[in-house]
Amino acid sequence: MYSTYYTTPATYDVTVPAEMAIWMAIAGIAAFIGGILVYFLFVKPNTEPKNNFLKWLKEFLSFKIMWIEPILKMIYYMATIFVVIFSFSFLSYGGAGVLVWLGCLILGPIAVRLGYELTMMFIMIWRNTRDIAENTERKPSAVVKEAVEKAAAKSDKIAGKSSTKKK
């Protein structure tokens, strides 16, 4: 009654995996060389870009510009709208469906918001860490300079007092 007959190709083309391996090797070599070039031409800290586009490109490639935040906001809005609209599908189930609808309508957006805030915490941690790093890069030189001046003034006072005592 049932047939187990199926067709198979008479020959198997072995060149497909070999072609994929060649493309993989080409892509790997190009990515390696391209990554090194991009780093030394655009991202390296001691290179200063000439025009605004190159400045933007350097900030983008060194991840000083983050795109994840606006993308996550859009995903949050879409997910919240989806949960609210989808919750109405539970009304078709009748009695218990109304309770599920209310639960999904109220708790759904709250759950989406908690998930969004959890992911945003990582971005906020990154931003705060970046701000701290930027502030500590600028201030130590002034702090060190002030400490050296205070130490020099104290040593001058001590040297001045000790030289007058010896006389």
C-alpha 49/C-alpha 31 separation (Å) is 23
- Mean pLDDT, consecutive 10-residue stretches, the chain (167 aa), reads 58 67 92 91 79 85 83 94 93 88 94 95 89 73 74 77 53
CA separation for the pair 15, 22 (Å, rounded)? 10
Rounded distance between C-alpha atoms, residue 43 and residue 106, angstroms: 47
Domain ranges, ordered by start, for the chain: 14-63, 66-167
The whole-model pTM stands at 0.56
